[in-house]
Amino acid sequence: LFGTHTHVQTADQSVSQRGTAYITDLGMCGSSQGVIGMHADVAVERFVTGISQSYKIAPGPAMLNGVLVEFCAESGKALKIERIHENLD
């Protein structure tokens, strides 16, 4: 059970006793610069004015967020969940 929206990876990953893997927010994949990977000036202007405009990807190094889940081949239940957070140059 994976959540996403804030673009900030949480550190609450767990596997329930019934075999459900969970994390509140997977995080994001994209530029580690700017606001959620986009040029900050566009994001701020959009927020302040309320006028929708296209985001532009911020330059700079990228980051990769996600999870790796190990499942039982017989039951299909999750055995392990591991967060992935890599800064890519």
Residue 23: the pLDDT is 98
Q: How far apart are CA 6 and CA 48, in angstroms?
A: 19
- The residues spanned by each domain of the chain are 14-88
What is the tens place of the pLDDT at every residue in 9-32?
A: 999 999 999 999 999 999 999 999
Residue 68: the pLDDT is 98
Residue 34: the pLDDT is 86
**pTM, entire model:** 0.80
Q: How far apart are CA 36 and CA 21, in angstroms?
A: 25
pLDDT < 70: residue spans in the chain: none
Q: How far apart are CA 45 and CA 39, in angstroms?
A: 10
Q: How far apart are CA 40 and CA 57, in angstroms?
A: 9
